[in-house]
């Protein structure tokens, strides 16, 4: 079982990712594709005049600030633009895919985020009314049913909160939760870099391996969205996922390259990384 998360970074080539995922699926491996879509969300937000804000938590993790208008925007972009595009690409590559959001069949259940201190637009504030959550339950039976029927699930946020309302969830962490709910799954997080970089300005500084502590903030050299990927990787490992890799999603052959060892392997360990530049 393989769970692949296709990043929304503009550098990631979704057509190449779908071609790779389709090749792995045609070779007989069960695959679930999870996606975000930050680039499409930002483009649609600009067209509709919905400003985008980010918030930075005390442990330096950057996330999208989700108010009511942003939740509508995220839902439109992911379920109306990105998900159908990926499903169509997989169909074109000979794989029968089905698109789902976390709302469909109650696939992803989330715990709504409580008010929390964060930096928003440069100001430290107490964030209330955030329409975001954290996935805490996955209907693995629904995914297994689809896979058994020969379908490749393509999954996006939002998820369903306990009060029955939709909430935005981070796609990396959703992929980690899905991998953790599927016994024997391997998780590959694709991004717009060759892996986790010790120096974000130097692509030759990719780490072959990175150890993350079971809790606490990610390593200090993990910046922006990469810090959140390490949080997701840790959650997957704690849920029992045997192998987690952060790998390059910018051109062809990257999924199979990641399965063969490219990118950065993430493991549970001491707070400092155990990696060495590849």
Asked whether residue 57 carries a pLDDT value surpassing 80, the answer given is no
More confident site: 131 or 55: 131
pLDDT at position 274 is: 42
Q: Closest Cα to residue 259, out of 20, 93, 97, 87?
A: 20
Could you tell me if 188 and 255 are in contact, meaning their C-beta atoms sit under 8 angstroms apart?
Answer: yes
Instruction: Count the neighbouring beta carbons within 10 Å of the beta carbon of residue 222.
Output: 25
* Cα–Cα distance measured from residue 191 to residue 184, given in angstroms and rounded to the nearest whole number: 23
Asked whether residue 74 carries a pLDDT value surpassing 80, the answer given is yes
Count of domains observed in the chain: 1
Asked whether residue 170 carries a pLDDT value surpassing 80, the answer given is yes
For residue 53, what are the contacts with CB-CB under 8 A and spacing of at least 6?
64, 65, 70, 120, 121
Asked whether residue 5 carries a pLDDT value surpassing 50, the answer given is yes
Asked whether residue 55 carries a pLDDT value surpassing 70, the answer given is no
| Residue 278 domain flag | no
Q: Is the peptide bond before 158 cis (omega within 30 degrees of 0)?
A: yes
Tens-digit pLDDT profile for residues 80-135:
999 999 999 999 999 999 999 999 999 999 998 765 666 666 666 656 567 889 99
> What is the pTM assigned to this prediction?
0.90
- CATH for 185: 3.40.1160.10
| Residue 87 domain flag | yes
Helix axes 225-238, 171-181, angle to 10 degrees: 10
| Residue 275 domain flag | no
Could you tell me if 86 and 35 are in contact, meaning their C-beta atoms sit under 8 angstroms apart?
Answer: yes
Domain that holds residue 89: 2-268
More confident site: 179 or 271: 179
Write the DSSP symbol of residue 150.
Answer: T
């Amino acid at each position: 079982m393989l769970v692949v998360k296709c990043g929304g970074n503009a550098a990631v080539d979704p057509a190449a990712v779908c071609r790779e995922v389709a090749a792995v699926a045609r070779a007989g491996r069960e695959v679930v594709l999870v996606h975000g879509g930050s680039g499409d969300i930002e483009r649609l937000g600009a067209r509709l005049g919905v400003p985008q804000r980010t918030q930075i938590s005390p442990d330096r993790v950057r996330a999208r600030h989700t108010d009511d208008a942003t939740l509508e925007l995220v839902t439109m972009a992911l379920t109306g633009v990105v998900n159908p595009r990926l499903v169509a690409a997989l169909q074109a590559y000979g794989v029968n895919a089905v698109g789902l959001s976390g709302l469909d069949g109650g696939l992803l259940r989330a715990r709504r985020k409580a008010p929390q201190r964060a930096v928003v637009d440069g100001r430290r504030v107490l964030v209330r009314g955030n329409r975001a959550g954290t996935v805490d339950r996955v209907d693995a039976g629904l995914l297994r049913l689809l896979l058994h029927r020969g379908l490749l699930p393509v999954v996006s946020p939002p998820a369903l909160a306990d009060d029955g309302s939709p909430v935005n969830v981070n796609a990396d962490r959703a992929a980690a939760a899905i991998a953790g709910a599927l016994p024997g799954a391997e998780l590959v997080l694709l991004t717009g870099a060759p892996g986790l970089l010790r120096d974000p300005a130097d692509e030759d500084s990719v780490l072959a391996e990175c150890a993350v502590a079971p809790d606490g903030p990610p390593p200090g050299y993990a910046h922006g969205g990469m810090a959140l990927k390490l949080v997701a990787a840790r959650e997957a490992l704690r849920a029992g996922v045997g192998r987690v890799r952060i790998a390059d999603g910018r051109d062809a052959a990257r999924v199979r390259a990641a399965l063969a060892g490219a990118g950065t392997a993430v493991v549970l360990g001491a707070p400092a990384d155990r990696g060495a530049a590849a």
